[in-house]
Amino acid sequence: MDRETVRPLPPALAVTGTRRLTTIGVYGFTAETFLEKLIGGGVGLLLDVRQRRGVRGPDYSWANSTRLQGALAAVDISYRHLKDLAPTTELRQLQYREDDRQGVGKRNRVALAPEYTARYTREILDPFDLDALVADLPEHSATALLCVERDPEACHRSLIARRLRTEHGLPVTDLTPDRSAAI
């Protein structure tokens, strides 16, 4: 495993020896506001739970894997890709069909389809060894789960975060863009 630099929490957020979790999406942020939100949240490790680590369109090219990793390294935030927690293409297509049925786009979705939630939990989350993941999280900085959706409840990262909160006692904070500054 690569050597990781862990950013300590700001004093107001520090909880000595307690692992903390945040979630963050890409939509609604610029590269600068995204990094500011992570730094302000005391994030030292970002876990990318996207299947495909690219985002379409010029507004979000900063979130493509190589650029994102470079930007994170510049502010001493470590990066890991956890593809085993990413939804499969089949599951993503299931959610897209539900989005179409409801007449919403991925960027405007506010909730996951019940079938998607059930299948993601059964097929991806249940078999994953969260105990090992938690044991490997930094204790003196927050860890962020990253995907693309603005609203955490519209994304599988909320399912991961909920499981980590209920089964492992990790406090969870959702980092979202300021509405006035969102793109």
Q: What is the residue-level pLDDT of the chain in tens, covering all 183 positions?
A: 333 334 444 443 444 458 999 999 999 999 999 999 999 999 999 999 998 877 777 889 999 999 999 999 999 999 999 999 999 999 999 999 999 998 888 788 889 999 999 999 999 999 999 999 999 999 999 999 999 999 999 999 999 999 999 999 999 999 999 864 444
Residue 160 belongs to a domain? yes
Residues 6 or more apart from 37 whose CB is under 8 A from it?
24, 29, 175, 177
Q: Give the pTM.
A: 0.86
Number of domains the chain contains: 1
Residue 74 belongs to a domain? yes
**CA-to-CA distance for 155 and 152, rounded, in angstroms?**
5
Contact 23, 144 (CB under 8 A): yes
Q: Which two tokens stand for residue 83?
A: 């593809």
Residue 156 belongs to a domain? yes
Contact 21, 165 (CB under 8 A): yes
Residue at 170: amino acid letter? L
Q: Which domain holds residue 75?
A: 20-87+130-181
Residue 121 belongs to a domain? no
Residue 94 belongs to a domain? no
Residue 165 belongs to a domain? yes
Residue 1 belongs to a domain? no
* CATH number, residue 74: 3.40.1010
Contact 144, 25 (CB under 8 A): no
Residue 155 belongs to a domain? yes
